[in-house]
Structure 1
Amino acid sequence: MSNVSIVTDSTADIPKELADELGITIVPLKVHFGENEVYEDGVDLTAKQFYKRLGESDTIPTTSQPTPYQFETVYRELHEKEPDKPILSIHLSAKMSGTHQSAYLAAQNVSDDFHVTVIDSKRASYAIGIIVVELAAMAKAGAQKDDLLERLDELLQDTEVFFMVETMEYLQKNGRIGKASALLGSLLKIKPILSLTEDGEVYPFDKVRGSKKAIQHILTELSDRYGDEPVHVGISHAESAEEAKKIMAEITGRFQVRKEVITDIGPVIGAHVGPGTISISVTKSKL
């Protein structure tokens, strides 16, 4: 039995079977196609269904965060089941969403006896998941909350993420780059390699021409950072499972991989990056 309840949100893109195995509670964000179609990420809209719907729709989907009430309901249910167990709630970068703020407000609304600690991961997709999974595995093995918070500090320092998009269209529609840059990049087949700042904002790490060069550039960067360290590697993808498998095979041949996870980029993150996106997350592992 875990000594700490771990909560995250659906943008962590943790495979359901892994979340179930580790006892991770996931609070869904929402995807909206116009005013009348609203879906809960991963609950009534899977990644596969979302990308199919995206390809058929002329409507640009939007997303919304969980309400404080949703988080408060989760915290109360967890506390009711196990009143003495503290809750660690880890969420999507506050620079990208109000999800962290909703969780924080909910934590303020419940009694101090609930012992809820809300964390801004400053990351997205499995770059959140990789941190959550490492902590949940520790909790399942019997670690106490203080141990998890100490490990969390390490993970926030040691976790790196790079991602590539198939088209700049979705980044442009979501205000990440200008229309002219998106058009020029598409014409020249430029692959922007994106990452996240220390504050959790998307920034252009580099740009190269072609996917193969982009992957090799990322792997070189990761090799420089992690060397022979044991690592936990996650590849999240938007309708690019075969490419994700090829990249993982190359990574496992070059790095000391202790745990590997391939997962779908879910509807909420997918709405902002589009199909064909590949994200590589790595952290030093103690699993």
Structure 2
Amino acid sequence: MQKIALIVDSACDLSLETLNERNIKLLPLRISYSDKEYKDKIDISADEIYNNLEKEVPKTSLPSAEIMEEILMSLEDEGYTHVIAITISSGLSGTFNSIRLALEDHPKLTSYVFDTKILAMPEGIMALEVSDLINSGKSFEEIVSAIPKIRKSISGYFTINTLEYLKKGGRIGKISGTIGEMLNLKPVVSVDDDGVYYTVCKARGRKQSILKLTNILKDELSLGPCKVWVLQGGALEEAKKFMESIKDLKNIVSLNMSQISPALGVHGGPGLLGLAIQKVY
């Protein structure tokens, strides 16, 4: 009989409570300051990151090999036979490859590692869907075959208040970042088919960028019913207002809010506002 475990990295934006309730194993990314290293989501919160950004912008890195090994060993000890891992885009992090390589040293575990080519709550939605399939008694093979279709139903978009932190983290070029700030440009960003950031559109000023997000959502909703999550990083009050402005749009099946994980907050900086959208077939 199959006993299937689900692993997800901390870029998924799911709360510790949700992960514990669903028995999803968490691989925390690492956040390193000059004097100390933290386990993302476990040892440090997003608000703590934002409150300290003016003093120091920390570095982020892959989950530690030790924690990865601990999780896999414990799964074997607990009698798991199969493992599904859902990861942040390989175009943005080496986590996918690290988990894949670690699992090669555990031949007792039949495994499937899925590169979501996305991040934040859209990655979290993938994990929730897989968790539902596991809990409903679907086989490993059935779940693995369903995962690519689930991914096609999910999209994510975000806008940020400043390009400073994407620039510092090397996510955009310094010259383009500086020009963008001079012109008060607020890009709306998503990820492409390779799982790499790209600019969907640009807006002049914050109000216009939020309007662009709203129009993107309306376009998605015009195609059919969707579940919607408002994403926020250091922008709680704006996120509440944004939720209020879209809550009555036709075809929204459910509407929730999600906080960006600490590791992702390092690169986005305070003022991140976004959407995760899941089409309901």
2:69 equivalent in structure 1: 72
2:249 equivalent in structure 1: 254
Question: How do residues 133-148 of structure 1 correspond to structure 2 at under 5 angstroms?
Answer: 133-148=128-143
Match of 1:110, SS state, is: coil
Change in Cα spacing, 1:146 to 1:247, as seen in structure 2 (3 Å) is farther
1:123 equivalent in structure 2: 118
Partner of residue 105 from structure 1, selected from 101, 107, 131: 101
Q: Any conservation in 1 of the 2:158–2:188 contact (CA below 8 Å)?
A: yes
Q: Measure the CA separation in 1 of the matches of 2:136 and 2:225.
A: 19
> How far did residue 228 of structure 1 move?
5.6
2:26 aligned with 1:26: yes
Q: Structure 1 vs Structure 2: percent identity of aligned residues?
A: 28
Question: How do residues 223-238 of structure 1 correspond to structure 2 at under 5 angstroms?
Answer: 223-227=218-222, 229-238=224-233
Corresponding letter in the other structure for 1:27: L
> How far did residue 100 of structure 1 move?
0.9
1:188 equivalent in structure 2: 183
Q: Any conservation in 2 of the 1:126–1:235 contact (CA below 8 Å)?
A: no
> How far did residue 53 of structure 1 move?
2.1
Q: Measure the CA separation in 2 of the matches of 1:166 and 1:32.
A: 24
> How far did residue 214 of structure 1 move?
2.0
Relative to the length of structure 1, the TM-score reads: 0.89
For structure 2, the residue ranges without an aligned partner over 5 or more in a row are none
Could you give the per-residue CA deviations for residues 68-116 of structure 1, whole angstroms, max 9, x where no partner exists? Answer: 44223212212321334x21101111111111111011110102x3112
For structure 1, the residue ranges without an aligned partner over 5 or more in a row are none
Change in Cα spacing, 1:230 to 1:169, as seen in structure 2 (3 Å) is same
Report the count of equivalent residues.
Answer: 280
1:46 equivalent in structure 2: 45
Relative to the length of structure 2, the TM-score reads: 0.91
Change in Cα spacing, 1:154 to 1:255, as seen in structure 2 (3 Å) is farther
1:63 equivalent in structure 2: 60
Instruction: Compare 159-168 and 130-139 and name the one that shifted more.
Output: 130-139
Q: Any conservation in 1 of the 2:6–2:25 contact (CA below 8 Å)?
A: yes
Moved over 4 A (4+): none
Change in Cα spacing, 1:126 to 1:188, as seen in structure 2 (3 Å) is same
Cα RMSD, aligned residues only: 2.1
Q: Measure the CA separation in 2 of the matches of 1:11 and 1:229.
A: 28
Question: How do residues 198-237 of structure 1 correspond to structure 2 at under 5 angstroms?
Answer: 198-227=193-222, 229-237=224-232
Q: Any conservation in 2 of the 1:107–1:118 contact (CA below 8 Å)?
A: no
Instruction: Compare 100-109 and 249-258 and name the one that shifted more.
Output: 249-258
